[in-house]
Structure 1
Amino acid sequence: MGITERKEREKAEMRRRIVDAAIKMFVEDGYEKVSIRNIADKIEYSPATIYLYYKDKDQLLYDVQSEAFATLASEFILKINADDPFKRLEQLAIAYLDFAREYPELYDLMFIIKAPMNAVMKEEKWENGDPSYDRLYHLMQECIDKKLVRFKDATIGTLSVWAFGHGFVSLHLRGRCAKVANVPEEDMPAVITEAVKEYLRMIKA
Structure 2
Amino acid sequence: MGIKERRDVEKEEMKKRIMDAAIEVIVQEGYEKLSIRKIAAQIEYSPTTIYLYYKDKAEIITDMSDVLYRKVMGEVVAVINEEAALPIDKQVHDILRGFIKGLCSEPEMVKAIMHSGINVVFANDSTDGKPANQGIDMLDHLVSIGISQKVFRPGIENNSWMIVSALLGFVLSSIGSRLYLFDNFHKHIDDFVEILMGGIKQ
Fold in common (TM above 0.5): yes
Residue in 1 that maps onto 2:158: 155
For residue 52 of structure 1, what is the amino acid of its counterpart? L
CA distance in 2, matches of 1:113, 1:151: 36
For residue 176 of structure 2, what is the amino acid of its counterpart? R
CA distance in 2, matches of 1:59, 1:116: 10
Residue in 1 that maps onto 2:16: 20
- Write the deviation string for residues 34-71 of structure 1: whole angstroms up to 9, x where unpaired: 65335435665421122233221111221121111111
What are the residue-to-residue correspondences of 1:121-136 with 2, within 5 Å?
A: 124=125, 130-136=133-139
Count of aligned pairs? 184
Structure 1 residues 136, 21: closer, same or farther in 2, change over 3 A? same
CA contact (8 A) 1:40 1:47 kept: yes
Following superposition, the deviation at residue 73 of structure 1 comes to 1.5
For residue 106 of structure 2, what is the amino acid of its counterpart? Y
What secondary structure sits across from 1:154 in the alignment?
coil
What secondary structure sits across from 2:133 in the alignment?
helix
CA distance in 2, matches of 1:176, 1:31: 17
Q: More helix by proportion, 1 or 2? A: 1
1:60 maps onto 2:60 in alignment = yes
CA contact (8 A) 1:21 1:42 kept: no
Following superposition, the deviation at residue 72 of structure 1 comes to 1.0
> TM-score, normalization: structure 1?
0.70
For residue 155 of structure 1, what is the amino acid of its counterpart? N
Q: CA RMSD, aligned part only?
A: 3.6
Structure 2 unaligned spans of 5+ = 29-33, 127-131
For residue 190 of structure 2, what is the amino acid of its counterpart? T
CA distance in 1, matches of 2:182, 2:79: 26
For residue 168 of structure 1, what is the amino acid of its counterpart? F
What secondary structure sits across from 1:117 in the alignment?
coil
For residue 154 of structure 1, what is the amino acid of its counterpart? E
CA distance in 1, matches of 2:117, 2:169: 20
CA contact (8 A) 1:22 1:64 kept: no
Match among 26, 31, 34 for residue 31 of structure 1: 26
Residue in 2 that maps onto 1:137: 140
Match among 90, 96, 106 for residue 93 of structure 2: 90
What secondary structure sits across from 1:113 in the alignment?
helix
- Write the deviation string for residues 89-143 of structure 1: whole angstroms up to 9, x where unpaired: 0110110121133221233355x3335438x98x846xxx823222222222222
What secondary structure sits across from 1:152 in the alignment?
coil
For residue 158 of structure 2, what is the amino acid of its counterpart? T
Residue in 1 that maps onto 2:129: none
Structure 1 residues 135, 105: closer, same or farther in 2, change over 3 A? farther
